[in-house]
Structure 1
Amino acid sequence: MFDELRDSLRHLSSRLDPDERRRMSGGMRDAMVHAKLAIQDLRTALTTTEARLRTEQAELETVRRRQGLAAQIDDQETVAIAERFAAQHAERVAVLEAKRMVQQQELDLAEREYESMSADLKRIMSGFAPEASSPDAAARREVEALLSDDPLAAVDGAELPPAPRRSRAEREADAEARLADLKRQFGK
């Protein structure tokens, strides 16, 4: 959800100049505020869905009560109409329950990501690099290995085969091509 912000955090953490880090951290704080607002929007949407669900459940109960009353007085036309409306309300209730579940999962995910990014930003602002536990840490290590001067740089514990010495420009071009390929694979 917050991939752009996470990428900015990683980029910020790789900078060594404290003045530049301070300047960029102001923009990162603004991005965190926007992320917090997005989480609030998710909460509002979830609250709205829950209210709609309660309304539909009440309507379903009303229709079923009326259906029962109509059956008691043997009014088959009203019973048939009530059955049709009960089916509609039951379907809406089912959809809203599924929607509520998905919205709750999305909110939980966004909150976890926000907390993780907040912790990373605090670490960066204190001068430490963020933890490398992100899902694309392996891809980042691969790109870093390609950019390093050591042709035998390790990628995920495996050594790369010996390669002829390449210029920094060649290594950077290769790394950019691999990064673009990874972005295409992950749909960024």
Structure 2
Amino acid sequence: MFESLKQTIQDLVGGRIAPADRRAVIAEMKRALALAKLGVEDLAQSAEVTRARLKDEREQQATAARRRALAEGINDTETATLAAKYEAQHAERIAVLERKLDVQEAEHGLAEREYDEMLKQLKQASLGVGSGLSEANRPLSDADLGLPDDAPLRRDLDALGRQAKRQERDAQADAALEALKRKMRGE
């Protein structure tokens, strides 16, 4: 998922980046990792949205099953047939959503592990691993490396996070509204 980022970090740790370029590369990698973290969080949020949709489909399937059973109880074959059709449709959607959720959870887990490994390697690179400096030297801080305060970047990332959360809430509200409309139509 993060192949070019992982390769650049490997180059840093492996000493394949010129000492004069290390500060700039480390600063850029920190920015890239911050964006990668947002990507990992997006994967987690996508899985949550799928979980909510799966729960809704299961509820709708249960409703269709109840309607079918009630219609069969009063010998209303037309309604029973229609309810059985909707019950089967919901079952199919549930099967697809379950597979989708499994994939999303696996993808999120993989991305999270990759992110954690890259973060660990970047911290090592920030401490001078691969720079040719002896390990006896004290760890280098961001100030030692000449890295600027990333307050504007943090503000931008916070704004992106708030925007993503707002979009998620809007999507959930739209889904709830659609579910309510379907319920009102008797589906």
TM class, shorter-length: 0.5 to 0.7
What is the CA–CA distance in structure 2 between the aligned matches of 1:114 and 1:99, rounded to whole Å? Answer: 22
CA displacement 1:66-88 (0-9 Å, x = unmatched): 00100111111111111111110
CA displacement 1:70-111 (0-9 Å, x = unmatched): 011111111111111111000000100110010000000000
Residue type of the partner of 1:116?
E
Residue type of the partner of 2:63?
T
Partner of 1:30: 31
Partner of 1:102: 103
- The 5-angstrom pairing of residues 87-98 of structure 1 reads 87-98=88-99
Shift of 1:24: 1.1
Percent identity (aligned): 42
Give the count of matched residue pairs. 129
TM-score, normalised to structure 2, is: 0.66
Partner of 2:74: 73
Partner of 1:60: 61
Q: Is the 8 A contact 2:54 2:98 kept in 1?
A: yes
Residue type of the partner of 1:50?
R
Contiguous gaps of at least 5 residues in structure 2: 131-187
What is the CA–CA distance in structure 1 between the aligned matches of 2:78 and 2:10, rounded to whole Å? Answer: 67
Partner of 1:3: 3
What is the CA–CA distance in structure 2 between the aligned matches of 1:31 and 1:84, rounded to whole Å? Answer: 49
Shift of 1:15: 3.9
Residue type of the partner of 1:66?
R
What is the CA–CA distance in structure 2 between the aligned matches of 1:77 and 1:16, rounded to whole Å? Answer: 73
Using the TM superposition, name which of 11-20 and 32-41 deviates more. 11-20
Residue type of the partner of 1:89?
H
Shift of 1:17: 4.9
Shift of 1:16: 6.3
- The 5-angstrom pairing of residues 1-188 of structure 1 reads 1-13=1-13, 14-15=15-16, 17-129=18-130
What is the CA–CA distance in structure 1 between the aligned matches of 2:76 and 2:32, rounded to whole Å? Answer: 62
What is the CA–CA distance in structure 2 between the aligned matches of 1:28 and 1:37, rounded to whole Å? Answer: 14
Shift of 1:12: 2.2
Using the TM superposition, name which of 119-128 and 9-18 deviates more. 9-18
Q: 1:56 to 1:77 in 2, by over 3 A?
A: same
Bigger radius of gyration among the two: 1
What is the CA–CA distance in structure 2 between the aligned matches of 1:68 and 1:111, rounded to whole Å? Answer: 45
Structure with the larger RCO, 1 or 2 (CA within 8 Å, 6+ apart): 2
Residue type of the partner of 1:110?
A
TM-score, normalised to structure 1, is: 0.66
1:127 aligned counterpart, secondary structure: coil
Residue type of the partner of 1:31?
A
Q: 1:39 to 1:16 in 2, by over 3 A?
A: closer
Shift of 1:21: 1.4
